[in-house]
Amino acid sequence: MTAENTLKWLRFNLFAKPFDTALTLVVVPTMIWVVYSFLYWVLAIADWTVIQTSAKVLMTGVFPADQLWRAWVAAGTLGIIFGLACGTAMPINRKRMIIALLGAVAIILLAASVSTEAAVATVVVTVAFEAVWIAASRVSSLRAHTGKISTALLGLVVIILTPVGPSNWGGLLLSVLLTIFSAALTIPIGILLAFGRQSKVGSIRTLSTGYIELMRAVPLILIVYWIWISLPLLLPSWQVPDVIRGLLGFVVFYSAYAAEYIRSGLQAVPRGQVEAAEALGFSDGDVKRLIILPQAMRVALPGLVGNVLDIFNYAPLVFIIGLTDFLRAGQMILANPQNSGQTYEIYVFLFVAYFTIGSVITFMARRLEQHLGKGAQK
């Protein structure tokens, strides 16, 4: 951008009118002062040793220390899944590689401040992620089977972590697992509910509509608590872990919202395409699977991404059933009198972690939406 273009941009966006000029002269200096004050506190005043000494609690909660290798293997497996998703949504190039390497270096340095073992394990996880990202970007057959491979890897994560006991899962690990598994289960259930709400069979339509409206009329915390209490009464001979009961609460609740997003996508599919497919002899199932659903999912994608963000942001609600999620882990650390003076440090770290993960989810969704849009144009 040349100096002349820069001046035009400033005049048009910041000084176009007297009110805009006055607002700019007030807002810009204020923002500079706020950013400077915050950075000065972060770099010169804040005591970050509480994060270093409590990293294990923040990341894994009450996970047994002698079994942390399982958490690292699970993290590496999730990194592979993320690499597959990146290869599908945004194939790697030089710019993205540089950004990924800078991010990896920052994460490794943070891990190195905790321990050498954590730094080495972080290097392995980041290398696995970037290697799979490169492979998925180059090999089309790998991208074509991303869903199946990711499903198998999620099953592997469960197998790796189950011997520790779901009640010992905690921290950021629990929040991420709860988000991934809830999102993975709500989408197929939401598809069934969306089609059920449009079904020509009255009983199916009524049941689907009633379920969706009921879930949308009550708060999430009530559903989670109700399932946690009622499941042992309905299945007294089964010892269902608290994590599974909390997961079911999220799935039951957010499936209704996913169904509405998908239903809006179904309504956006032109009727002429359905009629053309039927005229060609497609069965009703093939019309839904091959014609309607792919186009509906493109339209529903922004809403479904919002659903995933809601699940991640509301994961702290599982504290009511005794689970130690990421936010609860931070509160546990502050409960220690020795750390009572580090309230700001803990909550700033939590804010940055939540903001970073949420931003990555949003960015990936936008890239995937652009990718699907290009495919539709072809």
Handedness of CA 247, 252, 254, 258 (dihedral sign): positive
Query: Quick check: is 56 in a domain?
Result: yes
- 245-258 per-position pLDDT tens digit: 999 999 999 999 99
Residue where one domain finishes, among candidates 124, 152, 168: 168
Query: Quick check: is 34 in a domain?
Result: no
Burial of residue 297, with CB atoms counted within 10 A of its CB: 0-12 exposed, 13-18 middle, 19 or more buried = middle
Angle separating helix axes 220-234 and 242-268, nearest 10 degrees: 120
Residue where one domain finishes, among candidates 168, 203, 219: 168
More confident residue, 34 or 269: 34
Q: Is the pLDDT of residue 161 over 90?
A: yes
Q: Is the pLDDT of residue 182 over 90?
A: yes
Query: Quick check: is 25 in a domain?
Result: no
Identify whether residues 75 and 177 lie together within a single domain.
no
pLDDT at 378: 39
Q: What are residue 170's phi and psi, to 5 degrees?
A: -165, -175
* pLDDT class of 173 with cuts at 50, 70, 90: very high
Contacts of 110 (CB under 8 A, 6+ apart): none
User: In this structure, what CATH number is given to the domain that contains residue 52?
Assistant: 1.10.3720.10
pLDDT at 372: 64
Identify whether residues 56 and 146 lie together within a single domain.
no
Q: Is the pLDDT of residue 174 over 80?
A: yes
Q: Distance between CA 144 and CA 140 in Å, rounded?
A: 6
Element (H, E) at 126: helix 116-138
Query: Quick check: is 19 in a domain?
Result: no
Please count the CA atoms within 13 angstroms of the CA of 277 that sit on its side-chain side: 17
pLDDT at 207: 94
pLDDT at 376: 45
Q: Work out the number of other CB atoms within 10 angstroms of the CB of residue 247.
A: 20
- 44-89 per-position pLDDT tens digit: 888 888 888 888 999 998 899 889 999 999 999 999 999 988 888 7
Q: What is the pTM for the complete model shown? A: 0.86
Please choose, from the candidates 126, 239, 249, 97, the residue with its C-alpha nearest in 3D space to the C-alpha of residue 185: 249
Identify whether residues 201 and 306 lie together within a single domain.
yes
pLDDT at 305: 85
* pLDDT class of 280 with cuts at 50, 70, 90: confident
Identify whether residues 173 and 187 lie together within a single domain.
yes
Within its chain, how far is the Cα of 98 from the centroid? Answer: 23
Asked if residues 311 and 181 have their Cβ atoms less than 8 Å apart, the reply is no
How many domains, in total, are found in the chain?
Answer: 2
Please choose, from the candidates 231, 228, 234, the residue with its C-alpha nearest in 3D space to the C-alpha of residue 320: 228
Residue where one domain finishes, among candidates 109, 133, 168: 168
Query: Quick check: is 42 in a domain?
Result: no
Identify whether residues 277 and 309 lie together within a single domain.
yes
Percent of the chain residues topping a pLDDT of 90: 33
Asked if residues 87 and 81 have their Cβ atoms less than 8 Å apart, the reply is no
Q: Distance between CA 220 and CA 62 in Å, rounded?
A: 25
Query: Quick check: is 127 in a domain?
Result: yes
Q: What is the mean pLDDT of residues 7-32?
A: 76
Residue 114: which domain range?
64-168
